[in-house]
């Protein structure tokens, strides 16, 4: 069975590039640009990994990560955050929120794939 990944990001070009690379590598990939739709997909599809391009706001003061970590049905889904903010403060906020891995942009697709494999393994379950 193929491992599932949900990619969430507002930039369609970057999202599409990442989805193509992951799909080509054998992963079953869903995508969205909307935080609320991402929550629905997380609950319905139960992906093994969430790749979040930048922090996604759901409502004032509420991010996708905060809402996700408060929901026991999806709280343990690993999160890989891709973001242009490489500050120590941003890294610390992400860690405190429950992000499992943090990669500053720009990044190569090969580096993202390496991190995906580290977090959830290869595309096909053993």
Domain for residue 110, yes or no?
yes
What pLDDT sits at residue 52?
93
- Which CATH number fits the domain that encloses residue 116? 3.40.50.2300
pTM for the whole thing? 0.93
Residue-wise pLDDT tens for the chain (126 aa)?
Answer: 899 999 999 889 989 999 999 999 999 999 999 999 999 999 999 999 999 988 776 666 678 999 999 999 999 999 999 988 889 998 898 898 899 999 998 999 899 999 999 999 999 976
Residue 125 lies in a domain: no
Q: What is the pLDDT of residue 59?
A: 65
Distance CA 121, CA 91 (A): 24
Asked whether residue 126 is assigned to any structural domain, the reply reads: no
H or E stretch covering 92: helix 88-97
3-class secondary-structure state, position 61:
coil
The answer to whether position 21 is within a domain reads yes
Hey, how many other C-beta atoms are within 10 angstroms of the C-beta on 58? Answer: 17
The pLDDT assigned to 126 comes to 64
Residue 48 lies in a domain: yes
> Domain span at residue 22?
4-120
Counting the structural domains of the chain, the total is 1
- Per-residue confidence (pLDDT) for residue 109, from 0 to 100: 86
Specify if 60 maps to a domain: yes
């Amino acid at each position: 069975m193929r491992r599932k990944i949900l990619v969430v990001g507002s930039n369609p070009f970057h999202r599409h590039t990442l989805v193509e690379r992951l799909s080509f590598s054998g992963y079953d990939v869903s995508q969205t640009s909307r935080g609320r739709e991402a929550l629905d997909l997380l609950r319905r599809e139960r992906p093994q990994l969430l790749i979040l391009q930048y922090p996604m706001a759901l409502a004032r003061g509420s991010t996708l990560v905060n809402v996700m970590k408060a929901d026991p049905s999806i709280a343990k889904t690993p999160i890989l955050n891709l973001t242009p903010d490489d500050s120590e403060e941003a890294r610390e906020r992400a860690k405190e929120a429950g992000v499992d891995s943090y990669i500053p942009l720009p990044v190569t697709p090969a580096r993202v794939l390496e991190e995906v494999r580290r977090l959830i393994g290869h595309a096909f379950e053993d």
